[in-house]
Amino acid sequence: MPSKYKSPGTRALILACVVAAAATGTFSEGSVRLIAWGGAVALLATLACGARSAFWIAPAAAALAVALLATGHPTTLPWIWVLPLCLHPLRGRMGLALNLAAFVIGVGYIAQHFSLPATLLAATSLVIVWLLAQEQRLRAKPLLNREGAQWLLPPAMLDTDARHEQRRVERESLYGEVVIFGCAHSTPSDMQELSRLLYDQLALYERAYRLNDYGIAVLLVANDAKLAEQRRHQLQHAIAPHRIVSHTPLAQLGDRFARYRPRRAAPRREAQPWP
């Protein structure tokens, strides 16, 4: 998906923590500077390891925040607002307990340095940060697993959805088309790769349908034909070496995908009772 439709994720979190750690180390001295700069280096090393270390990014950032706050130095105070971002991916009762504990400890820490109104304001802002982080996580949560093309919609829905979108684009003066992507080679691994690449690139409002073992149809809607062409070229570049097999405007679609409609079973006549 384009970045504006995705959650910033752990990569954005770690980069923000690296910048915050570098700033904390710059404006501090002694043990605080050592912890901040050491934490920044550790987070960069975790980022360099790639996806294999993604699980440890949030806990490492949380540990760095706790270590800095434990020093009691005033420059470490902003790390209280970093903790909700680090802990919100944790799920279950344990994750909720850690989030609540971090909130209570953070508010208590602020109360030691500021007045009651400032503490209440800080507590409110901590809750807002946590809620925004939760909303972002839920918005980016996939409904299905992308592995093995399990997130793709069934082809039986394509004809119905295309007709619905055709009425909408006519009503709202938009432009829509169905783009069919095909695998570079007819192998199951190619289909999985094509599915993964499309999963990473499609926006939340763009729907994809698995037509067969080696083809995926995408329903694109844009403000005009030129923007749709630009989006189509963007997807083509992103999924290389796979290719676009065809693209058909919704106005010219006709009954092209009618064969994918589910067939209704013929009504069966009830047997007449014996006299």
Each residue of 122-154: pLDDT tens digit? 788 877 877 776 666 655 444 444 444 467 888
Q: For residue 72, give the 3-state DSSP assignment.
A: coil
Structure confidence at residue 11 (pLDDT): 65
At residue 69, does pLDDT exceed 70? Answer: yes
Inter-residue contact 220 to 176 (CB < 8 Å): yes
User: What separation in angstroms does the CA of 119 have from each of 4, 77, 109, 165?
Assistant: 34, 13, 9, 51
Structure confidence at residue 245 (pLDDT): 92
pTM greater than the 0.95 cutoff: no
Write out the DSSP string of 175-244.
EEEEEEEE-SSSSHHHHHHHHHHHHHH--TT-EEEEEETTEEEEEEEESSHHHHHHHHHHHHHHHTTSEE
Q: How many other C-beta atoms are found inside a 10 Å radius of the C-beta of residue 175? A: 18
Of the candidates 79, 127, 72, 70, which has an alpha carbon nearest to the alpha carbon of residue 104? 127
Structure confidence at residue 4 (pLDDT): 35
Write out the DSSP string of 19-71.
HHHHHHHHT--THHHHHHHHHHHHHHHHHHTGGGGGGGHHHHHHHHHHHHHHT
Residues 63 and 234: their CA atoms lie apart, in Å, by 40
Residues 12 and 2: their CA atoms lie apart, in Å, by 15
Q: Which of 12-26, 111-125, 251-265 has the highest mean pLDDT?
A: 111-125
